[in-house]
Each structure stands twice: as structure tokens, then as C-alpha cells.
């Protein structure tokens, strides 16, 4: 349930609404902007007397929220959330570009790629240190050493780090050293991990689960937000369908859908969505046109020798060419790429 108040209402009226609701054992969530003032009610709303609420004054409307997600719901916060990561904004008019290898492999590799993607216009460095691999015999990532190497690359380039967490035992390390914590597709419904991430303030990039519906995906964001961390960025990375030609099927429609249902930024990962390097460009461009708030692209200096996901990785030169086209598209669409 949400209480839509007069945007210019007095603080006392908001307090009166909150006092009434909280006395009934519910929690409230205030969302206020220039043109709106909304009090979201969280808990059992069956005890609420809508007429009583209207009688408080300065309450324009009381609406039932049908969706099970409250904090992520656009009804509760009509304006787009903008998440600031070391001065790089994600959401709103901004187009965030996250690029880097699937896995951090060595200092030379990560620093070289970081410098090159930055030169082409990326404003975040991605790179896996803890890798969720299907086979236990595959390269599992450099783990803590990988985090250290990401920090070296950040020092060299200033690019904020985006990297995946797999277990809560690494949480303290991630909170201290990582700028955006990625939750991979395989952990999207690891509710214990989501709850722990909800206790932090670090921005969380939440990838869509392999076979998750849009509502399940948003509910996972809600887990993080319910804990108090509202800095959530969604990432569409393709879902499983009957089609096997591509690694996954990129659900482009999820972008406008998620943006209609929630106020959260949504970025697109065309690399994992397709599994093929030559499909990265057309789908990256399509994602921008469909309204994505950013892109996550796998870039490797030597894809043929990559320890993970070489087939979908593009070379820095190819990334640079794609970025030239993305910059033109961004201009046409009235979007900003921070730092360009």
C-alpha cells in the first residue's frame, strides 16, 4: 500500500501518517522529490483504515500495490534511481560502460586491458576473481590474489572495480575493496547472500538468474533493498530458452519492462547473453536503443588464450570500434557517458 501525499505537504502531516501506521506494527518508507511525496507501507496493511488516513489531511490518495515488491516498485519512487560510484553515475541519463576480462589472470593482463578499455571510454573495470564455473576442473579464478590485482589496475587507471562475490565469508574483503559487488546469475536466488549484502551500503550489480522470471529477479533485488541497501543495479544477461545457437537468449524486452515496474537502473551484458564475440556489437547497440542504463562487455587482450569465456570475448581494438558506435548512439538518444 502506498500513501500519495501532497508534494508540498508539511513535515507534521508526514509524521502523523507515519505515527498512525507504525502504531499498527507496520514499517514505512518515505520517498520524496520535487513533484512527489510518497509513504510506502510495508507489512500487514489489512489493519489500515484508508478513510482515517485521508482524514489526516494532505493525503491525496491511498493505493494498494499489487506487486510483491515494494521498495523497488516505481509506484513508491516515480523517479529513476541514480547510483553514484566514485563519481560515475549509473541510471538516469547516464550510460555506464563496464568492460574487462571474464577472469583476472595476471597483473600484466588486467592492467593492460584496464588501460585500453578506459582509453575507449569504459568507466568501470569488470573482472572475475572468484569464478562460478560449471566444472570443478575448470579455472576457478585467482580468488584473493585476483582482488589484489584488480586494485592494482584501479590504481593505474582510476576505474572503479566490478567483481563477483560467491560466498558471504568474503563479504568484508569485498566491502572494503570492491566498488560494485556483482551477484552472478547462479547466485541470484542465494537469499542468505542477498540478505547479507542488504546490510552493506556497497552498490550491488544483480544479474538475472539463468531461468528466472522478471518478477523473481526483482524480488531478489527487493531482498537486498529490504535489508537497507537500496543501491541495486539490475543486469540482464540472457536467459535459457529452447534456442541453443546462442549461449542464452537476450531478453531485450526485460529492459523497458523492468524500467516500467521499478526505479532501478538496468544494464545489459551481451557477452554472456550470446556466447559469441561477433554478436556483442549488434546486441550492445540494441540494448542502448531499448533504454539500457549501461553495458557490461567482456574484453580480453588474447581471447584465444583466455582462461574463461574466450569465445565471447572481444579484443580491445574491437571494443574501441564498438564504443565509437555506442558514443554516436548515446548522442542520438540524449545519453551521457561519464568521462567522455
CA distances from 35 to 4, 7, 38, 63, 79 (A): 11, 6, 10, 18, 10
Which cell goes with 330? 548515446
Q: Looking at beta carbons only, is 251 or 309 nearer to Mn ion?
A: 309
Q: Looking at beta carbons only, is 39 or 264 nearer to ligand PEP?
A: 264
Task: By CB under 5 A, tell whether 309 contacts Mn ion.
Answer: yes
Binding mask 86-115 for Mn ion (x = CB under 5 A): ----------------x-------------
Measured N-to-C along each axis, helices 316-332 and 107-120 cross at an angle, to the nearest 10 degrees, of 30
Report, in Å, the least distance between residue 274 CB and ligand PEP. 12
Count of alpha carbons within 13 angstroms of residue 300, beta-carbon side: 22
Measured between alpha carbons, how far is 248 from 206 in angstroms, rounded to an integer?
17
Task: By CB under 5 A, tell whether 147 contacts Mn ion.
Answer: no
Measured between alpha carbons, how far is 301 from 116 in angstroms, rounded to an integer?
9
Which of these segments, 89-97, 142-150, 151-159, 302-310, binds Mn ion (CB under 5 A)?
302-310
Q: Which does 29 bind (CB under 5 to 8 A by kind): ligand PEP, Mn ion, none?
A: none
8 Å CB contact between 209 and 217? yes
Measured between alpha carbons, how far is 37 from 137 in angstroms, rounded to an integer?
54
- In sequence order, which residues have a C-beta less than 8 Å from that of residue 51 and are 6 or more positions away? none
Q: Looking at beta carbons only, is 145 or 336 nearer to ligand PEP?
A: 145
Report, in Å, the least distance between residue 238 CB and ligand PEP. 8
Q: Which does 237 bind (CB under 5 to 8 A by kind): Mn ion, ligand PEP, none?
A: ligand PEP
Best CA proximity match to 199, nearest among 181, 219, 177, 217: 181
Q: What angle do CA 252, 227, 79 make, to 5 degrees?
A: 50
Report, in Å, the least distance between residue 161 CB and Mn ion. 16
Q: Looking at beta carbons only, is 105 or 309 nearer to Mn ion?
A: 309
Q: Which does 222 bind (CB under 5 to 8 A by kind): Mn ion, ligand PEP, none?
A: none
Report, in Å, the least distance between residue 85 CB and Mn ion. 21
Residues that bind ligand PEP (CB under 6 A): 102, 128, 132, 184-186, 207, 237, 272
How remote is the C-alpha of 14 from its chain's centroid? 31
User: Can you give the binding site for Mn ion, defined by CB under 5 A?
Assistant: 102, 309
Amino acid at each position: 500500500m502506498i500513501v500519495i501525499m501532497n508534494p508540498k505537504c508539511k513535515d507534521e502531516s508526514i509524521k502523523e501518517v507515519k505515527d498512525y501506521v507504525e502504531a499498527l506494527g507496520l514499517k514505512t518508507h518515505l520517498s520524496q522529490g520535487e513533484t512527489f511525496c510518497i509513504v510506502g507501507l510495508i507489512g500487514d496493511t489489512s489493519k489500515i483504515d484508508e478513510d482515517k488516513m485521508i482524514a489526516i489531511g494532505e493525503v491525496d490518495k491511498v493505493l494498494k500495490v499489487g506487486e510483491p515488491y515494494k521498495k523497488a516498485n516505481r509506484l513508491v519512487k516515480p523517479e529513476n534511481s541514480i547510483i553514484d560510484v566514485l563519481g560515475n553515475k549509473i541510471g538516469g541519463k547516464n550510460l555506464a560502460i563496464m568492460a574487462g576480462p571474464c577472469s583476472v589472470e595476471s597483473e600484466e593482463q588486467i592492467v593492460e586491458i584496464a588501460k585500453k578499455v578506459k582509453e575507449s571510454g569504459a568507466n568501470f573495470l569488470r573482472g572475475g576473481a572468484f569464478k562460478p564455473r560449471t566444472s570443478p576442473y575448470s579455472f576457478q579464478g585467482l580468488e584473493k590474489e585476483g582482488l589484489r590485482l584488480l586494485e592494482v589496475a584501479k590504481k593505474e587507471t582510476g576505474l572503479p572495480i566490478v567483481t563477483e562475490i560467491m560466498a558471504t565469508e568474503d563479504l568484508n574483503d569485498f566491502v572494503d575493496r570492491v566498488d560494485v559487488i556483482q551477484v552472478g546469475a547462479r547466485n541470484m536466488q542465494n537469499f542468505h547472500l542477498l540478505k547479507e549484502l542488504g546490510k552493506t551500503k556497497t552498490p550491488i550489480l544483480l544479474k538475472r538468474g539463468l531461468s528466472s522470471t522478471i518478477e523473481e529477479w526483482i524480488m531478489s533485488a527487493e531482498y537486498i533493498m529490504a535489508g537497507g541497501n537500496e543501491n541495486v543495479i539490475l543486469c540482464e544477461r540472457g536467459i535459457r530458452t529452447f534456442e541453443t545457437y546462442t549461449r542464452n537468449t537476450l531478453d531485450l524486452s526485460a529492459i523497458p519492462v523492468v524500467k516500467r515496474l521499478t526505479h532501478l537502473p538496468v544494464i545489459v551484458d551481451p557477452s554472456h547473453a550470446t556466447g559469441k564475440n561477433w554478436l556483442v556489437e549488434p546486441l550492445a547497440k540494441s540494448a542502448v536503443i531499448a533504454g539500457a542504463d549501461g553495458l557490461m562487455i567482456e574484453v580480453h587482450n588474447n581471447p584465444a588464450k583466455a582462461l574463461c569465456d574466450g569465445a565471447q570475448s572481444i579484443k580491445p581494438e574491437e571494443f574501441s570500434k564498438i564504443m565509437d558506435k555506442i558514443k554516436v548512439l548515446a548522442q542520438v538518444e540524449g545519453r551521457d557517458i561519464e568521462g567522455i
